[in-house]
Structure 1
Amino acid sequence: MPWLLSSQVEHLSSSPSQRQCERTSFSFYCAVREQLPVWQLEDMRRMEVFSWEDGRPRAFLPSEALLYALVHDHQDYARYLLNKYSVSALMPPRCSFCCRRSSGAQHLTVAVRYNRVSILSMMVAVLKDCHVGEDFLDSRDGCSHEADAGKTAVQLAVELSRPDCLLLLLVHGALPTGLDAALQRLVSSDNLDRRCAQRCLDFLLLYLPKPPALCCLQEEPHRWQSLLGNEMFSWLCGLAPPPLLLQALRCLARSGPDQITALPDFLQLHSWQ
């Protein structure tokens, strides 16, 4: 529980050894937050005891250290952990509340929530190299005590309007789920957030093999037709083939995220109305 003050820790644990673990855990958290050099952080992680598990102390796991690196955007430390420990650095640690091993891709959802695009790129590259990408990318954050329980990284990226994170996930094979949520996010966003919400919708449409049945389009056709344009609205309703611009950009998207993001504004998907 690194976010607790040392004075609060005293009231949580009766065991002196456990209290010492909590203090050193907080010290490690602060060290990552201060962006200390990688060698120094690794010396702390391996040579000191930070965590209390099953009634005894143990050293911090690489996957736990990677979560700290994500929260504080320590890119050098994240790169080191992923290069040295590969996919094992992405294994979810135990939940601090129920002490059960979490399931799903907790590191991916944390990266999306904090908008850590650079570290997310490192993680999906490791998953691709280890040939476990698609299953891992589409897994849901497992433990009910976690903030994003039951959500995939793609769903969270749509909900939080994180277009850069979303594009990275889709390019590496994540399923383009959450179209209904993307549409609702678009209409509920204010002017500052609407562009990000629009880009999330655009990216989902790029990787969507076929339009799902969406009740909102049938219930308010005039509203959505004005927002999406005639061609896109007709395709999503199953009344017409996909627009030519969408088909062309899908071919370009297979080359990688840089090809789409480098397009001039008049060729971005939101301009086809």
Structure 2
Amino acid sequence: MPWLLSSTPHPPSPSPSQRHCERTAFAFYCAVRDQLPAWLLEDMRSMEVFLWDDGHPRAFSPADALMYALVHDHQDYARYLLRSFSVKALHVSQCGVCRSSGSAHLHVAVRYNRTAILGLMVDAAPEGWRQEYLNSCGGCAHGADAGKTAVQLAVELSRPDCLLLLLAHGARPQSLEAALLRLAASGAAERRDARHCLDLLLLFAPEPEPVALRRLQDEPQRWQYLLGREVFGWLSGLAPPPLLLQALRTLAQSVPGQMSHLPAFLQPHRELRLDFPLPWKQTET
């Protein structure tokens, strides 16, 4: 009977002010999606667009706009925001659920594989703050990327272009074990990108992580098959790495962020494909 059913209170109807914020935010979302000119989007953002946040309307910030530009790959608008507002555009507002903040823009850039905008963001970060920014973890405790750095996410999603850009600008090379597991679990279509991510970590990491070494030692036949005898040998400590690899490591670690000093096949750009074999691949079987 109706009166025996549990009565769940209905959420209050949105106020006219909240509905207005939702309409303007959605209109702005559609405008960014449709790749309208940057000057027009900025006029909308600064004069017409509001967000409903914690029970109150607030102006749509440059950081909010950059998030939309990332989702829709609007590179011109992202460039305008970063040139005009710099750190302010990279600052992430607190999450309305857990009241935390973090490097949400980096994570969205990696998840959507927005390499061009990611490069603009890294260049816009001040030199003294850049490494801290690149190595920060996702701030929302309830989010899918909580506690992960952008490098960890790039490895998990097999985003070699994003990973190269992050590592070349000083992000900490980590998650070698995750890269090995990703390679082992990848199908034929994904294996190339997973191997590229592993190669990049091996290039920039000063030495393998102990947990990754234990995994290699526990299943030597499996990893020898996946990596090849040469790579497995020096990665597990049975043989020294090739001299060319050691030279590239030294160069990569001594001048991060100065990619002009690296070989052309390691320089990031929008259409980067790591087709050139890294030195240890030449002797694999």
Question: Which TM-score band applies after superposition, normalised by the shorter structure?
Answer: 0.7 to 0.9
* 1:57 corresponding residue in structure 2: 57
| CA-CA distance at 1:225 after TM superposition | 1.8
Partner of 1:227: 226
Task: From the superposition, tell whether residues 131 and 17 of structure 1 become closer, same or farther in structure 2 (CA, over 3 Å).
Answer: same
Asked whether the equivalents of residues 95 and 145 of structure 1 are also in contact (C-alpha less than 8 Å), the reply is no
- Three-state SS of the structure 2 residue aligned to 1:265 is coil
Structure 1 position 148, deviation (Å) = 1.4
CA shift, 1:78, in A, is 0.2
Q: Which TM-score applies when normalising by structure 2?
A: 0.84
Classify the secondary structure of the residue corresponding to 2:85: helix
Give the aligned residue type for 1:82: L
1:182-193 aligned within 5 A: 182-193=179-190
1:5 is matched with which residue? none
Partner of 1:8: none
Q: Is 1:261 equivalent to 2:266 in the alignment?
A: yes
Contact 2:29 2:68 in 1 (8 A): yes
- Matched residues in 2 for 1:64 and 1:210: separation? 39
- Secondary structure of 1:95's partner? coil
Gaps of 5+ in 2: 1-10, 268-273
**Counterpart for residue 244 of structure 2:** 245
Asked whether the 8 Å contact 2:135–2:150 carries over to 1, the reply is yes
Matched, 1:181 2:178: yes
Percent sequence identity is 61
**Offset of residue 190 of structure 1:** 1.1
Cα distance in 2 for residues equivalent to 1:15 and 1:113:
34
Bigger Cα Rg: 2
- Normalising by structure 1, report the TM-score: 0.88
1:48 deviates by 1.6
**Cα separation, partners in 2 of 1:13 and 1:240, compared to 1, 3 Å:** farther
Cα deviations across residues 81-122 of structure 1 (Å, max 9, x unaligned)?
Answer: 1011111211112324x16242x2110110000000000000
Report how far residue 252 of structure 1 moved. Answer: 5.2
Counterpart check, 1:198 vs 2:195: yes
CA-atom RMSD, angstroms?
A: 2.1
Give the secondary structure class of the aligned counterpart of 1:192. helix
Unaligned runs of 5+ in 1: 1-10
Counterpart residue identity of residue 46, structure 1 = S
2:138/2:149 contact within 8 Å kept: yes
Q: Report what 1:236 is aligned to.
A: 235
> Within 2, Cα distance between the matches of 1:15 and 1:268?
63
CA distance in 1, matches of 2:70, 2:230: 41
Q: CA 1:230/1:259 → structure 2, altered by over 3 Å: closer, same or farther?
A: same
